[in-house]
Each structure stands twice: as structure tokens, then as C-alpha cells.
Chains A and B, each alone.
Chain A
Amino acid sequence: MTRDTDRPTPGPSAAGHAEGFRARDGRRPQAFRLDDPDVVLAEEGLAVRRGAVVVTPAPVLPEPEEELPLPPSPPEGSRWAALFWTGLGGLVSMGLGLAVWKLIEDLFARSDWLGWTATGFAALLVVAALAILGRELFGLMRLKTLNRLRLAAARALLHDDRREAEGVVAELMTLSKGVPRLFRARSELSGHLGEIIDGADLVRLAERHLMAPLDAEATKLVADAAKRVSVVTAVSPRAAVDLVFVLLTAVSLVRRLALLYGGRPGALGMFRLFRQVVAHLAVTGGMAAGDSLIQQVVGHGLAAKLSARLGEGVVNGLLTARLGLAAIEVTRPLPFAALKPPALADVASGFITRAEKKDAPNRPD
């Protein structure tokens, strides 16, 4: 017998209450003890007797291990660059075809204030140019710092050197000060710094705390870029168009990754960074032999025969993904030790599955 807390489920007599909402449902409150022999838990997988009450607990959703990646923040516009263009634009608009100096002289001859205005714009140009130069230098220095930090961290990991590790973590904390979303991670980490932790563990701890959220976001950036490239390549009417698009995407991807990991690359910095990325790609090889994706790519050779555009899209996407992964390794201030580096499958799965779905009907059996 099931034991009801209240009266048993109503028989036909309950139909007398025709008013109100209960006429629609007619379901009375009931309770069933789970240790009652007449009550069966569905998860036990037993054959259910007739007349038994079956209780199916709702599946418990697993807690997400890591927090969801945050939406990537848009790169902020630069005020100095704006000033630069203002200054230049001002000058250009004042006298196309006239030499600046001559122009100013001429303008002075015409009226003083025009001349002074032109001088002002010229001064702006100089100031902005200096500022941009300074930024370039700062970006280069930051790049150098990050490279040095990575090396030092690798050394600390190798030799389990606590003092070097402390230096690395302290520098990392200063670098990450500008990132508000790392505030909690940073203060947790600083709480741990007082404890007794070995050098290699300290670097790993810092990596887990400070890099994990950034890694998730970086993976998302690369995956998005790769997907975009593969789609655009597949649908673009001309080879030239997708060539330009792939190049632009690659540059912006590297820039955003560098920004994410604390770099401040200017034009020169980007140039150098790009060289590093390409060099890294050359060292690791375009394709890792052990990668399970390689079979898929071979398989897509077939897809490419059937639909050339689609195959190109997949290859271009894969290239972008590779480039992105290399860029992560180059821009990340710590080497991958405690956390797994994102694999090609993590960033390329989006467009591979899409392509597979798309060309599945084309595939000959």
C-alpha cells in the first residue's frame, strides 16, 4: 500500500467539486515513501510490476567545472591614434599640394590666426607621432617582458626554484592588475602566496588561477575566427576576397590574443609577434602527426573533390585554427604546465562538424 499523507486519491465522488480550477485537474496531493515496497525507483532498472508506483528522479545536471567563457571585450579605440589622424587630417585639408611650411608662411601672409592654427596642427602631428612612438616602444618592451617571463617560468618549473617562481608570480600579478575580471583570482592567489608552496607548484597555482579564464576565452576567440574563415571561404565568390579576409582575420586574431594575455602590441609589436607566431608554426609543423583530425582532413580531400569550395573552407579554417593555437603559445605569459593547451579539436570542431553535416548527402557510399 502506498501511504498518502492526505486522503487517498479521490474516487468518482470528488467529481462533485465542479467549481474553481480543480475541476480541470482533479489531482489531489499525495506522498510516497521511497522505502515502500510498492514504490519503485526507475533508476534501478527493474521490471515494473503492475500497480506499482514508479518514481523517476530528475537527472541531476552536472555542475559546470569551469565558468562559462566571458564574451570577448572589443578592442578599445586609441586616443593617440585619433589625435594623429586629426593632426594629419587637419594639415592635409588645409593645403593639398602645398608644402606645409610654405602653406604656413602663405597663411601667415594672409592672416596671423590662420598661420597659428596651421602651426597648431603641425604641433599636434609631432606630439601624436611621439606618443605613438612611445607606445610602440612600450609594446615592444611588454612583448620582451612576456617572453622573459615565460622563459623564467619554464626555468622555475624545471628546477623547482621557489625564488624564481615568486618573482614570476609577483610580476604576473602586476601585469594582470589591469584586468578587472581577474580581481578575485588575483586576491585568492595573493592569499596563497603566504603559504608554503614549492616553486613549480607556485607557478602551476598561478597558472590555474590567472590563466584558466583567459585560456577559455582565447580558445573561443580562435574557434570563432576559424569558423568565420571557413564559412567565408566556402561562400566567397573570388579567391582574392577570401585571401584578404583570411589575412585580416589572422592579424586581428593575433592582436586580440596578445591583448587578452596582457600584451600591448603596436604596429611594430604586431610585426614582431607575427614573426614569432609563424616561426612557432614552422617549428611545431603545420600539422601534428598524432592529431586525430588528420584523418578528417584526408577525408576532406574527398569532400574537396566533390565540392572544391567546401574543401578550401575547411583547409583555410584549419590553418587559422593552427595559427591561433600557435599565437596562444606565443602570447601567453606562462607555458602550459598545469592546464592542458587547447587542442586543434577544441577550436576546429565547430566548422568540421558543420562541414561534415553539409557534405554528408554528397558523400558516395
Chain B
Amino acid sequence: MASGYMASWYEGLVEEARLAALTLLDRAEDLASPTLRLGITGLSRAGKTVFTTALVHALTRGGRLPVFEAMHEGRIARAVLEPQPDDAVPRFAYESHLDTLMLERRWPESTRRISELRLAIDYAPARGGRRTLTLDIVDYPGEWLLDLPLLDQRFADFAATSLRLAREPARQALAAPFLAALAQVDPAAPAEEGEARRLAALFTDYLAACRAEEVAMSLLPPGRFLMPGDLEGSPALTFAPLDLPEGAEPPAGSLAAMMARRFEAYRERIVRPFFRDHFARLDRQIVLIDVLAALNAGPAALADLEAALDGILAAFRTGRNSWLGSLFRHRIDRVLFAATKADHLHHTSHDRLEAILRRLVERALARASDAGAEIDVVALAAVRATREASVKRGRSELPAIIGVPEAGQYDAADFDGMAEAAVFPGDLPEHPGALFDPGRGGFRGLTDATGGDFRFLRFRPPLVERNAEGRVLPLPHIRLDRALQFLLGDRLR
């Protein structure tokens, strides 16, 4: 296998050289006009689109951002949308998302593919003068990050890992149809397209079932199976893991060989270009995480989220830019983990939410601070949909939130999407360890027969407020300014 080893070593070298060349090109452009590439990602339903829309809205409209120094000190003159640099990447549909949010009071459609937006920020450095910072916002599904570990895997590794996951107790019931079909398939049999399609469809169904609200699993590679974009139905997405005998090469022309070939195509044609053209060029990254959904669903979902985050975090090439190294190699030097939808909680629980998130990304925190990257954790709501209240019932008093719940939510047929309701979602534990400790029972999710310990409802976006002159006021938020300060503050000094 020496030749194979040499070949992959050579390929790796070529890949590195390509990356270095791209970086050099970026740096040259940077000299002409300083540019910052901000990646916004998160697993689906974490609120990427809302966050991006709110961020652009706050910057262009000059929202209430007291913690964002440059804005508060009045040093940002304006921020305007500009034509984006990459012609082959779709533009983030900011205007239509904003209309959906403000006029229709609906949450915008979720991110299904990568999109970009370019903002030019005119500002005055604290010591005077005038500068322009170009901010490129790259919004992409977090599921794609889960694919990055596949770059180092062969089909056999992938099949073993994903089948092990599918046979875990929390997933076994959902994976039953796929596993049953798999049991009747002989990997060494001659390849047949119909068989491959059937298996791939069952595999995709299983992955999709894991995403339902009651289960809320997160670690579901390959990411494009759930977010196919324009690749739907192409052979690169028509494969599934197989039970392969240990160590044996599949015979040529067999089903296993075809699946392996397609897996390689997926890796080389889909995952690698994404890594090279987009991910490896980022400077700053925010990872949005919907911790509350996992709490809704139960301990298995939380454990799964932790595993998924670990996978995501392994992908970051974090580390401070050294002077020479930065010429040839991009490194993300700041990563912010944000627990979104903090407005679904009373503010007294925000610190606890942050503690839970910190516990989830603990391993990554240790690894990245070794590498020199700055990492922070925040509980935020890019658009705040609720206000706070306290509810007194008999002698007990509950910290609650008031908002308009969306119609037709699980187990809550009472909500018509019009009436306001005061909601007490449950108490977050003081010490996050209590959630992760299976020995003490952990907590109960919605799948539990006795009902969940938490119930976070989805709320409709807030009513648009206008001031006396009828001008639309900036959208309310929670700690969006802190996130901006962390991600952009040092570049606007």
C-alpha cells in the first residue's frame, strides 16, 4: 500500500499549496482594502438566518447596541450592503428575510445552502481619520461542518461509524427500517442502481427522522443528505453505509465497491471544495447552538449535540495569526459559541444557559485556548420576541415570559398564533453537571412518558415598533451587541 500512501501524501501537499496560494491572494486584497470574513454557522433551526438578518439590520440601521463600542461611541458612520465578491455563491436574501420578519411576523426560511453578503463599514478609528472595513458574511449550514471529519475517512471507516451510531439505543427505533433492509443486502453482490437508491432513501429517511422535535438529534453525517441543495438525486448522494467484513477489499463491480466509489466522490467533489473555497478562508466564526431544543427533547439529544459539537470543533483550524504564518495560512482567531433563543427564558436563567453551553464546548475551549484562539460563550437572542413577567398562582411565583406562541405546536393545540401567553418553561439547573449526569437520572425530555422537565415553545417575531415620527425602530435583541463587540470590536478600534 506504499504507493497509495505516497499518492495521498502528494494530494495533501497539493491541497496545502492551493490553500496557501488562496490565502496569499486574500492577503494581497486585504492590503488594498481590509476585509474580514465572518462565518455564521450552526446546526439547522439554530437561528442562522435570523441572526444574520438581525446583524445586518443592526449594523446598517444603527440599532441599539450600547456594548458594541465603535457604534456606541458614534465612530461608525454607516454600513452599506455592497455587491458580493464571489460570483458563484448565492447572495444572502437579506431584504426578503427582513420583510418576512417585520411585515409578516414569521421567522424566515432556514438556511439550506451557503450564501454570502458583503457589508462596507465606514468608521473612524479611535485616534481619528477615516477607514472602511469590508465585512464578508458567510452563512452556511452547520451540517456541512460535520462532513469535514469525512475528509480523513475511507468508506469502511464511515460505514462502521455511522452504523454504530444507528444501533445506539436512542436511535435504534428510528433506524429500524434501514437496518432491516440492510440485513438483507449482500455487500459483495453485483452493483444494482435500484438497490442503491432504495438503501440511500431509507438511510436519508432515518437521518431526517432523527431531526424531529421530540428527538432532536444533531450528529447526522453526511450533512448533504439532509441539505442536498441542488445536488438532490445525484449519484454522489446515492450511497449508504454497509456492513463490511473487517479488512477485506470489496470485489470489483460489487455493491460495496459502487458505494465506496460514490462516497469518495462525495468527499472529493462536495466536501473538499467547500473546505477549500469557503471554510478555510474564514477569519472569525460564530457557531449558533439551539441548546433549548436539545433540552426539550431529552438527555439523548443533549449527548448527541455534545458529540456533534465536538465534531464541528475539530474542524476549526483555530489559532492566533502569527506574522509569517498568516501570510500563507488562514486561521480563525476568534470563535464565539452562542446559545440562541435566550428570549425563551427569563433573564435570571441566562447565566445558567451560558453555563450549560460552556459545559458543552468544554473540550473545544481547552483545545482552542491551547492553540491561542480566543473563544467566548454567550446566550443571546438576535431578535427578541418576548417580554418578561412573573406569574403568581396560589402561593408559588414563577418567572415567566410573555409572547405570542406559534400556532399548532406539539402538544399545545390551544395556541392559535394570535393570543399572547405567559410561559414558564421550567427551571434550568444551577449546575450544568446535573443535566449530563446519567447516574442521577438526568432530566426528562418530551419523549419521556411522564412529560418533559422543559417545554420551550416557539414564539412569533415581535411586533414592529415605531417612534413618534412613524420610523421603524430597530429590532429588539438580547446581547447581540456583545457578540458584535467580540467578533468585530478589535478590528474597528
- List chain A positions with a Cβ less than 8 A from chain B: 2-3, 5-7, 17, 19-22, 25, 27-35, 39, 51, 53-58, 60, 63, 67-68, 70, 178, 180-188, 213
Contacts and interface: CB of A to CB of B under 8 A. Distances in A.
B440 interface: yes
Contact of B412 (A5, A34, A180, A183): A5
Contacts of A22: 427, 443, 453
Contacts of B122: 187
A67 B125 CA distance: 20
B124 interface: yes
Interface of B is mostly: loop
A27 B75 contact: no
A185 B74 contact: yes
28 contacts: A5-B455, A6-B411, A7-B450, A21-B427, A21-B430, A21-B434, A22-B443, A29-B425, A29-B455, A31-B423, A32-B391, A32-B400, A32-B422, A33-B415, A34-B402, A34-B421, A51-B394, A53-B392, A54-B391, A55-B422, A57-B387, A57-B388, A58-B390, A180-B127, A181-B73, A184-B75, A188-B77, A213-B74
A314 B78 CA distance: 46
A85 to B, nearest CB: 26
Contacts of B441: 17, 19-20
Contacts of A21: 427, 429-431, 434-435, 443
A56 B390 CA distance: 5
Interface string B398-435: 10101001000101101100011111111101110011
A320 to B, nearest CB: 29
A182 to B, nearest CB: 7
Contacts of A32: 391, 400, 421-423
A34 B422 contact: yes
A10 to B, nearest CB: 9
A5 B457 contact: yes
B492 to A, nearest CB: 12
Contact of A183 (B77, B421, B424): B77
A170 to B, nearest CB: 18
Nearest to B433: A21
Nearest to A53: B393
A154 B419 CA distance: 55
A67 B412 contact: no
Interface string B112-135: 000000000011111111100000
Contacts of B415: 5, 33
A16 to B, nearest CB: 9
A329 B24 CA distance: 56
B355 to A, nearest CB: 13
Contact of B74 (A7, A27, A183): A183
Interface of B: 62, 64, 66, 72-78, 122-130, 387-394, 396, 398, 400, 402, 405, 409, 411-412, 414-415, 419-427, 429-431, 434-435, 437, 440-444, 450-455, 457
Contacts of A34: 402, 419-422
Contacts of B427: 21-22, 25, 27
A63 to B, nearest CB: 7
A184 B69 CA distance: 13
Given A53-B392, A55-B390, 8 more contacts: A5-B412, A20-B434, A21-B429, A27-B427, A33-B421, A39-B422, A57-B388, A183-B123
A144 B73 CA distance: 30
Contacts of A68: 66
A178 B440 contact: no
A33 B396 CA distance: 18
A29 B75 CA distance: 45
A58 to B, nearest CB: 4
A33 B404 CA distance: 9
Contact of B64 (A25, A51, A63, A186): A63
B442 A20 contact: yes
A35 B419 contact: yes
A184 B129 CA distance: 12
Contacts of A39: 422
Contact of A56 (B124, B389, B419, B420): B389
A198 to B, nearest CB: 18
B419 A182 contact: no
B460 to A, nearest CB: 14
A53 B423 CA distance: 12
A53 B422 CA distance: 11
B64 A20 contact: no
A3 to B, nearest CB: 5
B451 A28 contact: yes
Contacts of B425: 29
A53 B391 contact: yes
A201 to B, nearest CB: 15
B440 A27 contact: no
B104 to A, nearest CB: 22
B392 A56 contact: yes
Nearest to A188: B77
A58 B402 CA distance: 10
Contacts of B443: 20-22
Nearest to A48: B392
Q: Top 7 A-B pairs ranked by shortest CB distance?
A: A19-B441, A29-B455, A183-B124, A187-B77, A21-B429, A21-B434, A58-B388
Given A25-B427, A187-B122, A33 B388 contact: no
- Among the interface residues A20, A22, A57, A70, which one has the most CB atoms of the partner chain B within 10 A? A20
B389 A30 contact: no
A222 B311 CA distance: 58
Contact of B414 (A3, A27, A28): A3
A20 B391 contact: no
A31 to B, nearest CB: 4
B209 to A, nearest CB: 23
Nearest to A190: B77
A210 to B, nearest CB: 11
A130 to B, nearest CB: 26
A5 B296 CA distance: 13
A58 B399 CA distance: 10
A183 B430 contact: no
Nearest to A17: B441
A248 to B, nearest CB: 30
Contacts of B450: 7, 17
A188 B419 CA distance: 41
A184 B444 CA distance: 52
Contacts of B440: 19-20
Nearest to B429: A21
A138 to B, nearest CB: 18
A6 B400 CA distance: 15
A181 B391 contact: no
Nearest to B78: A187
Nearest to A40: B392
Given A32-B391, A33-B421, A5 B411 contact: yes
A28 B430 CA distance: 16
Nearest to B126: A180
Contacts of B398: 27, 30
A94 to B, nearest CB: 38
A350 to B, nearest CB: 24
Contact of B130 (A17, A28, A60, A183): A183
Given A21-B434, A57-B388, A181-B73, A31 B421 contact: yes
Contacts of A184: 62, 74-78
B384 to A, nearest CB: 12
